[in-house]
Amino acid sequence: MSEAIKVCVRVRPMPGSQPPYLPQSRTSQGAETVGCISTLASDTTILSLTGPSITDRRKNREDDQPSQPQQLKTYAFDNILPPPSTNEDLYNESAASVVTAVNKYNQDGTVFFYGQTGAGKSWSCFGDILTTKDLSSMTANDGVMTRALRDLYSTESQPSQNHSVHREVTFFEIFNERVHDLLSPPPALHKSMPSLPVRTHPTKGSYIEGITSLPVADLASCLKLVRKGYARRAVAGTKMNDQSSRSHAVVRLKTTTKDNDHPKSTPTVTYLTFVDLAGSERQRDTGNTGERLKEASSINKSLSTLGGVIFALGINSLNPTETRHVPFRDSKLTLLLRNSLNPANCRTVMVMNVSPDEQQFLETVSTLKFAQRVKQIKTNDDVVDKFRADESGEVDALKKEIGKLKMKLDSVNTEVPKPSQTSMATAKYLQDTLPKIERMEAITRTLVPNYHRRIMEDKLIDKLKTEKISRLQRRLRTGDANEEDPDSDLNVLCSEIDSLRKLLNEPDPDAVMYKSLYDDLLQSKSPIYGADSDELKNLRSLTTKLMTENQSLNQDLEGARKQASEAQSKAEDSTAATKKLLERRLKEAEERAEAAEEVRLKLESQLSKSEDTNLQMKSKINATTNHAEKVQHEYQTLSLTAATQKKEVAKLAASLTATQIELREKTKDFSKMQREHEAEMDSLTNELFMESERMTEEKGATEIEMKGKLAAAFKDNAILQQRVKNLTSERENYEKEIKTANSKISQLEVEIEETKASAVDQNEQTMATHKERVEKLEKDNLAAYENAEKWERAAEENERKIGSTMDEVKRLKKKRDDDAFELENLQEDMDTMTENVKFLQLQNEELQAYNVRLEELNNLDNDNREEREDGSEVDGELCLTEERAKQILEEAVSAAEHDAFNESAFLPPADSNEGVHDVFDEELDEEEEEMFFESQPVDLSRDDENGIPFSTPQTTAKVKAIKRSSSRKVFALHNE
């Protein structure tokens, strides 16, 4: 059993730091620290993480205090690359071996880039491909993918006479569980990228229907296409990364190699895949909402499925007897990369990108835990792919197996130092050869058990292969006449396997040859040395000489051997100690395994219990999900109601504003009128006051009445002013209330939105982490209970929030109704006020008219007085009987008096006497008229029956007017 997936951890530089990205501290033992990550310069497989303890973290979350760092854990992986590691370093440690496997041994290869958002996955994979101008020449920031492609194109399996190579590239992304072809022509403007369907073929496995696969003959055209596709990838700015990839991007290069020597043979197809996964992200850190949140939820879901697949593969490889279901089908990512995750099929490397930033501590822990799970996946070289469903793929698998065997053979061959070709006839050769032979002997001694072990291992593999081959042959024999075709794939494969087997079974021929030579030499059985010739004599003397030299050399050699044996014994001691240590460790491991078995049994029983609990939990979660959906529905209804209410409130506010404007206008008018009124009142008061002083006591009653009216008017005016004031302050209060209500409504809406978003977020997150939780439940039931409780608490909290929100909405509704009612009342008050104001206006007008009338009367009285002061007399020339004239005059006076005092509007304006003079102007001259008036025996000092005084200037004027009109009538009668 060996680890199937190589895991390299790449630590990015501290965010915001500048090159050369040196460690922040370095201890005397060589430990280098950047942020929360420490590494050893002497051991690049160990990493330790320092961070706050879980309790500290919880505490910090509550009281927001910085915590004391604590040593947390040390992890071991295949390779750790702390800053300032370059993309070249990363390539050499990760993808280089994958390229070799693809290129040299026809294996499939995949490189994954995993890590939280902003940890440097895209940087590690693609480097600065978007900004590099010349793609054909290498730059320092070339990503791992670029370097791998460069190596692939430049090395062995280039087209040759024997082989023809054809390469095609595909580039797609998985965005929100939709597969987008990044090499297809872009969609029309404002149209979204079409989603391609993923189909599963019974023999070919899963594939994308209609994906663009473009031939790429050289590196530059391949990189150009990748760059084009990469530029079209879905990215968006988040709080954690301003160019965050929102999708999983997969670049796949298919290489088809045809063997020209065997044109009928099936071409070998290999895939080299690069997967830049979207980064896991926590909503709390990114602060994502809306579309970004939806994307994050989809990313987390597919990563969680990937985790589930890795977990199941790990469990299966730990316990090969039972096969746990591997949920490849749960996401498009795992479905399409199923082959890449199968260690029997593919050489896979995972680059785990982490950030040393203390703020990202939890994410780093989570990535490293994921990496540990990946490391749990083991592969047994004897185990043939149990995932492969199709038998037609077996030829391909066998070819890949040959690749593996070749790789092994290569590694074995490189361990054997080859002796150089030398002449056998010279002693020099012997001199040179002897120590070499010695060494060869030693090597052979060590190699033989190795060979034996390997032969045993490979025999096992061979057994499986032979079984497979005979099965295949049987099938071919029964179904295909081509069985004897020496060119058939199977025969080619068989012969290749046989030759490989031979190579593995037979000891190195050089070693055997040198060994036999050496033996011959030692026993002097070689025919060359047996002949008694001069050459031999010479050789013998030379040999004797050499032998003496050799003896001394042998002595040296003996010394060296002694030293070597000492070193060997030391090495043996240390080996024994190591063996002991290993045995102790083995024992410990066995004990641990036993303990683990016990735990497993316990866990199994717990598991069965957990499964019940799971079911309960699932039903609970379903119920809660239903409840959450209901809540969501209620939210929507609430939002609709809130929107309607908002509209109503907006309408109300608009009508209120209109009323307010109207009110303001009216208030303005009222204030203006009031001011005018006050001014008029003042002037009227003054006038009245003056007038009242001048007026006699008979006018007192009128004056008092006037004053009373005036006082009443003042009072009304004061009330009006007060009312207007109250109204204004009421209006202001109402405006304030409306404002508060509006702000409360918008606050409420924001709260509803937030609660809705957080509920949706919680729902999605719960659904996404559900599977993981269930698995966690299997491990730790208690933790799951805690989670469930937390979840329930969150749901209760939601319910409580909804309750309080609904109460708030109800309260606001009631408030709105109250306000509407208050508004109606205010409107009524306003109407009453308007009527009052109208009434006051009328009163005002009456007062004005009265004033005018008073003035007029006054003027008339003055005129009258002036006329009387003239002393002119009326000539009695008229031939009208005195009695008839008196009668007519009395009738006219009475009618006029009635008109004058009951219909105040009947009087002409104060400044005009037109009505009086008209007739006279036409028919009598001034003198005649005066004479006529004077002749009339009217008592101007008497009161009429209504008690109206005639002795005032006004009454005098009135009477004079009456007299005139009467005279006119009398004159007319007289003329008749």
Q: Which is nearer to ligand ATP, 167 or 248 (CB)?
A: 248
Q: Which is nearer to ligand ATP, 278 or 833 (CB)?
A: 278
Smallest distance from the beta carbon of 100 to ligand ATP, in angstroms?
24
Q: Which is nearer to ligand ATP, 242 or 487 (CB)?
A: 242
Q: Which is nearer to ligand ATP, 47 or 278 (CB)?
A: 278
Burial label for 467, CB within 10 Å (0-12, 13-18, 19+), is exposed
Instruction: Please select the residue that binds ligand ATP; options are 44, 94, 170, 245, rule is CB under 6 A.
Output: 245
Rule CB under 6 A: is residue 119 a binding residue for ligand ATP? yes
Pick from 888, 892, 894: nearest CA to 946? 894
Smallest distance from the beta carbon of 31 to ligand ATP, in angstroms?
20
Q: Which is nearer to ligand ATP, 13 or 52 (CB)?
A: 13
Instruction: Please select the residue that binds ligand ATP; options are 77, 112, 123, 361, rule is CB under 6 A.
Output: 123
The full 3-state SS of 941-952, as one line of letters, equals: CCCCCCCCCCCC
164 marked as part of a ligand binding site: no
Q: Which residues contact 234 (CB under 8 A, 6 or more apart)?
A: 173, 175, 180, 245, 246, 247
Q: Are 472 and 433 in contact (CB under 8 A)?
A: no
Smallest distance from the beta carbon of 296 to ligand ATP, in angstroms?
10
Q: Which is nearer to ligand ATP, 280 or 966 (CB)?
A: 280
DSSP category for residue 904: G
Size of the residue set binding ligand ATP (CB under 6 A) = 17
Q: Which is nearer to ligand ATP, 87 or 316 (CB)?
A: 87
Helix (H/G/I), strand (E/B), else coil: 754: helix
Smallest distance from the beta carbon of 87 to ligand ATP, in angstroms?
8
Rule CB under 6 A: is residue 115 a binding residue for ligand ATP? yes
Return d(Cα 707, Cα 709) in angstroms, integer: 5
Smallest distance from the beta carbon of 89 to ligand ATP, in angstroms?
10
Rule CB under 6 A: is residue 286 a binding residue for ligand ATP? no
Q: Are 840 and 938 in contact (CB under 8 A)?
A: no
Instruction: Please select the residue that binds ligand ATP; options are 243, 548, 622, 626, rule is CB under 6 A.
Output: 243
What do you get for the CA distance between the two ends of the chain, in Å? 153
Q: Which is nearer to ligand ATP, 121 or 399 (CB)?
A: 121
Rule CB under 6 A: is residue 230 a binding residue for ligand ATP? no
Helix (H) or strand (E) holding 290: helix 290-318
Q: Which stretch binds ligand ATP (CB under 6 A): 115-123, 303-311, 677-685, 862-870?
A: 115-123
Rule CB under 6 A: is residue 121 a binding residue for ligand ATP? yes
Return d(Cα 54, Cα 47) in angstroms, integer: 20
Q: Which is nearer to ligand ATP, 353 or 864 (CB)?
A: 353
Helix (H/G/I), strand (E/B), else coil: 383: coil
Rule CB under 6 A: is residue 967 a binding residue for ligand ATP? no
Q: Which amino acid is at 340?
A: S
DSSP category for residue 280: B
DSSP category for residue 185: P
Instruction: Please select the residue that binds ligand ATP; options are 23, 82, 109, 120, rule is CB under 6 A.
Output: 120
Q: Which residues contact 231 (CB under 8 A, 6 or more apart)?
A: 130
Rule CB under 6 A: is residue 122 a binding residue for ligand ATP? yes
CB atoms within 10 A of CB 685: 15
Rule CB under 6 A: is residue 360 a binding residue for ligand ATP? no
Q: Are 274 and 126 in contact (CB under 8 A)?
A: no
Instruction: Please select the residue that binds ligand ATP; options are 12, 227, 408, 960, rule is CB under 6 A.
Output: 12
Q: Which residues contact 673 (CB under 8 A, 6 or more apart)?
A: 837, 841
Q: Are 282 and 342 in contact (CB under 8 A)?
A: no
Instruction: Please select the residue that binds ligand ATP; options are 216, 278, 497, 768, rule is CB under 6 A.
Output: 278
Place of tokens 């690749």: 403
CA 724-726-727 angle, 5° bins: 60
239 marked as part of a ligand binding site: no
Q: Which stretch binds ligand ATP (CB under 6 A): 121-129, 362-370, 473-481, 495-503?
A: 121-129
Return d(Cα 344, Cα 384) in angstroms, integer: 7
Q: Which stretch binds ligand ATP (CB under 6 A): 39-47, 120-128, 224-232, 722-730?
A: 120-128
Q: Which is nearer to ligand ATP, 91 or 670 (CB)?
A: 91
CA 9-278-217 angle, 5° bins: 85
Instruction: Please select the residue that binds ligand ATP; options are 39, 117, 298, 952, rule is CB under 6 A.
Output: 117
Q: Which amino acid is at 210?
A: G
Instruction: Please select the residue that binds ligand ATP; options are 107, 244, 913, 956, rule is CB under 6 A.
Output: 244
Q: Which residues contact 366 (CB under 8 A, 6 or more apart)?
A: 116, 280
273, two tokens: 């895949």
Rule CB under 6 A: is residue 518 a binding residue for ligand ATP? no
Rule CB under 6 A: is residue 52 a binding residue for ligand ATP? no
708 marked as part of a ligand binding site: no
Q: Which residues contact 522 (CB under 8 A, 6 or more apart)?
A: none
**What is the per-residue binding string for ligand ATP in 23-42, x denoting contact by CB under 6 A?**
--------------------
Q: Are 354 and 80 in contact (CB under 8 A)?
A: no
Rule CB under 6 A: is residue 279 a binding residue for ligand ATP? yes
Measured CA to CA in angstroms, residue 125 lies from 83, 237, 577 at distances of 16, 19, 44
Strands (DSSP E) along 741-810, which ranges?
A: none
The dihedral over CA atoms of 194, 198, 201, 207, expressed in degrees to the nearest 10, equals 80
Helix (H) or strand (E) holding 178: strand 178-181
Return d(Cα 936, Cα 472) in angstroms, integer: 158
Rule CB under 6 A: is residue 247 a binding residue for ligand ATP? no
Return d(Cα 342, Cα 328) in angstroms, integer: 11
118 marked as part of a ligand binding site: yes
Q: Which is nearer to ligand ATP, 122 or 345 (CB)?
A: 122
Burial label for 606, CB within 10 Å (0-12, 13-18, 19+), is middle
Smallest distance from the beta carbon of 238 to ligand ATP, in angstroms?
7
**What is the per-residue binding string for ligand ATP in 337-356, x denoting contact by CB under 6 A?**
----------------x---
Smallest distance from the beta carbon of 370 to ligand ATP, in angstroms?
14
Smallest distance from the beta carbon of 278 to ligand ATP, in angstroms?
6
Q: Which is nearer to ligand ATP, 296 or 405 (CB)?
A: 296
Q: Which stretch binds ligand ATP (CB under 6 A): 151-159, 241-249, 266-274, 374-382?
A: 241-249
Q: Which is nearer to ligand ATP, 352 or 617 (CB)?
A: 352
Smallest distance from the beta carbon of 131 to ligand ATP, in angstroms?
11
The full 3-state SS of 639-661, as one line of letters, equals: HHHHHHHHHHHHHHHHHHHHHHH
122 marked as part of a ligand binding site: yes
Return d(Cα 123, Cα 143) in angstroms, integer: 7
Smallest distance from the beta carbon of 300 to ligand ATP, in angstroms?
12
Q: Which stretch binds ligand ATP (CB under 6 A): 118-126, 174-182, 810-818, 855-863?
A: 118-126
Rule CB under 6 A: is residue 241 a binding residue for ligand ATP? yes
Q: Which is nearer to ligand ATP, 277 or 826 (CB)?
A: 277
CB atoms within 10 A of CB 519: 12
Instruction: Please select the residue that binds ligand ATP; options are 23, 35, 82, 118, rule is CB under 6 A.
Output: 118
115 marked as part of a ligand binding site: yes
Residues tagged in the binding site annotation for ATP: 115-122
Residues tagged in the binding site annotation: 115-122
Binding site for ligand ATP (CB under 6 A): 12-13, 115, 117-123, 241, 243-245, 278-279, 353
